Amino acid sequence: MGEVRRGEGEVVVTGVGVLSAFGVGVGALMEAAYAGRSGFAPVRRFGVEGRRVRHAAVHPGSPVLADELPRIIGLACDQAGLSAAQRGRAPLYLAVHGDPDLPRVPAHERAAHGSDGFARTVARRGGLSGAARAYTSACVASSTAVADAAALVAHGRAERIVVAGGYLVDADQFAVFDAGRALARDGRVRPFSAGRGGLLLGDAVVAAVVESAAAARERRAEPLARLAGWGRAGDAHHVCKPRPDGAGLARAIGDALRRARLRPERIGYVNAHGSGSPAGDTAEAAALHRAFGEAAADLPVSSTKSVHGQGLEAGALLELVVTIAALRAGRLPVNAGWLGPDPDCRLGLVLDEPAPTTAAYGLSLTSAFGGANTALLVGTP
C-alpha cells in the first residue's frame, strides 16, 4: 500500500446550514454544546410504547426530510453567497438512509423511490443542478461525501460541491436501534464515561458548501474553514462491532494528517465519534492513543453527541459543523453526561465547561457499522 495522495488545490467550506433538536442555525446548536445542555426528551413524534427506551433529541413538530433538506441547502448556499446561477451548476452529494417513503409505498412503486432519485429531487428543489448522488454508508455517509467532494475539488475537477445529510428521528430506525439494545436506558449519552450505556438518536439536517479556495477568492467569499485533510479506512473486523485496537480509525487519522501535511501535535481538538456505546468509545480511545501516542491523554476531546444525539447518515456533517464553529470561536464544546473516569478512555476530555483554545486545526472522527472509519481535518481559514 502506497501513501495517500491528493490534488494540489486548497479546499474550503464557505457556507453551512443546520437543523438540530435545538432549532435551525449553528448558533442554537453551539449554545447547547457549550452549556452541555442535552436535547434528550421522551419522543412524541411517534409512538414509543413498548420500547425499552423513549428518549431522543428531536426538533419540535414533525419536520419532513424532503422539505427540510432543500431549505437547509438554501441556507448554506445563502451563507456562501452563491448566486442562483452558481447554485444551478453545483452538484449535490446527499447522505441519507434512503427515501423515507420507500418502505410504505405500494410494491409496484418502490423502484421509483431510490436514494439516487431522492437525491436528484432534493437537488432540484434546493436550486442545485440535477447532478446528485446519494451516500448511504450509515454513520460515515456524510463524512465520506465530504471526503469525496474535497478530493474532487482538490483535483480541480469541481469548483464547488454541495454536501448535505439528513436524518429525522423516525419510528423505524428507533425500533431497530431499540431492538438491538443500542439505546441508553438512562436517557443520556455519556461518551467515554464510566457507566455509559449506549447511544440516543437525534435530528440532523445539515448542508455545507465545499469549494475550491481559488474559486472562493475569485468571488470574494469568506471561507469558514479549510478542509485540510481527510482519511478513511476499514476495520475488516465485524459486521457491527468496532475493532478493539482502533487500528482502522487510527489509519484514517494518519491519512488525514498526511494529506494535510501536518504533524499530530498540530491538532488541538478532536470532535470524537463518541457514541456512548461501551465498546465503541473504548476502541476510539485506543485509536487516539495509536495516532497521538501518550499525548492523547491530554488532547482536548469531546463528543457532542452527548448533546445533539446520533444523527446517523447526517451525524458526521453535523459534527463537522460543530468542529468548524468551535475552532472559529476559539472555544471547545463540552463532553456532556460524564459521570467519572473510565481507565480505558484516558483522553483530555473537555468537561464541565467550554475550554478556550488557540488551535488552528481540529479533527472530526466517525465510525460506522461494517468497520468504516473516517477522519476529517479542519483548519481555521
Residues in region 132-151 near other proteins by CB under 8 A: 133-138, 140-141, 144, 148, 151
Is residue 117 close enough to count as binding other proteins by CB under 8 A? yes
Which segment (69-77, 127-135, 261-269, 273-281) binds other proteins by CB under 8 A? 127-135
Size of the site for other proteins (CB under 8 A): 74
Judged by CB, which is closer to other proteins: 180, or 195?
Answer: 180
To other proteins, the closest distance from the beta carbon of 34 in angstroms equals 32
Report how many helices (DSSP H) and strands (DSSP E) the chain contains, helices first.
11, 16
To other proteins, the closest distance from the beta carbon of 48 in angstroms equals 8
- Which cell goes with 292? 497521538
Is residue 371 close enough to count as binding other proteins by CB under 8 A? yes
Distance of CA 70 to the CA centre of its chain: 18
To other proteins, the closest distance from the beta carbon of 150 in angstroms equals 10
Judged by CB, which is closer to other proteins: 16, or 140?
Answer: 140
- Residue type present at position 223: P
| Cβ atoms 17, 73 nearer than 8 A | yes
Distance of CA 208 to the CA centre of its chain: 11
Q: Give how far Cα 2 sits from Cα of 153, 171, 277, 281, Å.
A: 22, 44, 34, 29
Query: What is the Cα–Cα distance from 305 to 335, expressed in whole angstroms?
Result: 8
Q: Kind and range of the H or E element at 267? A: strand 267-271
To other proteins, the closest distance from the beta carbon of 145 in angstroms equals 9
Query: What is the Cα–Cα distance from 66 to 365, expressed in whole angstroms?
Result: 27
Judged by CB, which is closer to other proteins: 259, or 326?
Answer: 259
Which segment (11-19, 37-45, 46-54, 214-222) binds other proteins by CB under 8 A? 46-54
> What's the number of CA atoms in the CB half-sphere (13 Å) around residue 308?
39
To other proteins, the closest distance from the beta carbon of 237 in angstroms equals 5
To other proteins, the closest distance from the beta carbon of 182 in angstroms equals 6
36, 202, 231, 246: residue in contact with other proteins (rule CB under 8 A) = 231
- Which cell goes with 270? 478532536
In the three-class reduction of DSSP (H, G, I as helix; E, B as strand; rest coil), residue 47 is classed as coil
Is residue 8 close enough to count as binding other proteins by CB under 8 A? no
Q: Which of residues 273-302 bind other proteins (CB under 8 A)?
A: none
In the three-class reduction of DSSP (H, G, I as helix; E, B as strand; rest coil), residue 43 is classed as coil
Q: Give how far Cα 366 sits from Cα of 60, 200, 311, 335, Å.
A: 27, 16, 11, 16
23, 98, 127, 330: residue in contact with other proteins (rule CB under 8 A) = 98
52, 130, 293, 353: residue in contact with other proteins (rule CB under 8 A) = 52
Residue 48's CB: how many other CB atoms inside 10 A? 18
To other proteins, the closest distance from the beta carbon of 47 in angstroms equals 5
Q: Give how far Cα 335 sits from Cα of 166, 167, 230, Å.
A: 24, 22, 24
Judged by CB, which is closer to other proteins: 18, or 210?
Answer: 210
Is residue 232 close enough to count as binding other proteins by CB under 8 A? yes
27, 42, 83, 172: residue in contact with other proteins (rule CB under 8 A) = 172
